[in-house]
Structure 1
């Protein structure tokens, strides 16, 4: 049975770092220090099976108006078993409880999962802008 928790003390930073830096197409090579710092400043959601961390999601939010769902990862050995759904369900529940009005995410491969929880394409992408910064 999958259980989901926002208790950051239960989330194994080393495991999350390994998943993201070695296997997640959007975070390859990310340092452990960056993973730990990003977790310290975010809402973290862990999925557990028999006490073992099997999935993770991070939400960057001001806890009032806006959120960005990111770093959603499910251990390869646990994919296809509802872990991703459990993570996204908990995230959307947490954000509804905070009364956040807008949440954003980017995905290259899980559109159907997120659509099931109300996410969709931007209504007016011409209003959004982005910028990248070179690593220091």
Structure 2
């Protein structure tokens, strides 16, 4: 089994690779520009999973105010490394990171990976009717 390391330094992230993953294979971000990936990463906490030889094989991003709220997004595991628990490791690393910050609420949205996040304490939103969203006019 390959040994993996979690890193959180933005300088370690291969944002060209992350852009490729997100813009071509992630249903929530198809077509996202490289500039948008870079700007988002610069203004977020970044978590990467790396092989022993330093190759990045997974990524997650956390948008947060570092005090009260966080949003886990852009979680992606390279197709060749899926099925090895890396999504769960990313979720656990994020939970530890936001707990260390003292953040009281972390949200995420997924259409198909609920079991990946449940092990790190994520549960369905208790009152979804109270949530609202704004999107820019087209």
Q: TM-score range by the shorter chain?
A: over 0.9
The residue aligned with 2:121 is 118
2:71 pairs with one of 55, 59, 68: 68
Q: Distance in 2 between matches of 1:125 and 1:88?
A: 22
Of residues 85-94 and 57-66 in structure 1, the stretch that sits farther from structure 2 once superposed is 85-94
Aligned residue pairs total: 135
Structure 1 residue 109 corresponds to structure 2 residue 112: yes
1:26-74, CA deviations, whole angstroms, 9 ceiling, x for partnerless residues? 0000000000000000000000012110000000000000000000000
* Aligned residue among 48, 59, 62 for 2:62: 59
Shift of 1:10: 0.7
Q: Quote the RMSD (CA, aligned, Å).
A: 1.0
Structure 2 unaligned spans of 5+: none
Give the corresponding residue for 2:25: 23
Aligned to 1:98: 101
Change over 3 Å in CA distance of 1:12–1:81 after alignment to 2: same
**Distance in 1 between residues matched to 2:137 and 2:92, nearest whole Å:** 34
Instruction: Detail structure 1 runs of 4+ shifted over 6 Å in the superposition.
Output: none
Q: Are residue 133 (structure 1) and residue 130 (structure 2) matched?
A: no
Which of 30, 36, 45 in structure 1 is aligned with 2:47? 45
Which residues of structure 1 form unaligned runs of 5+?
none
Distance across 2 between alignment mates of 1:21 and 1:8: 19
- 1: CA distance between counterparts of 2:137 and 2:50? 35
- TM-score (normalised: structure 2): 0.95
Distance 1:27 1:134 in 2: 19
Secondary structure of 2:93's counterpart equals helix
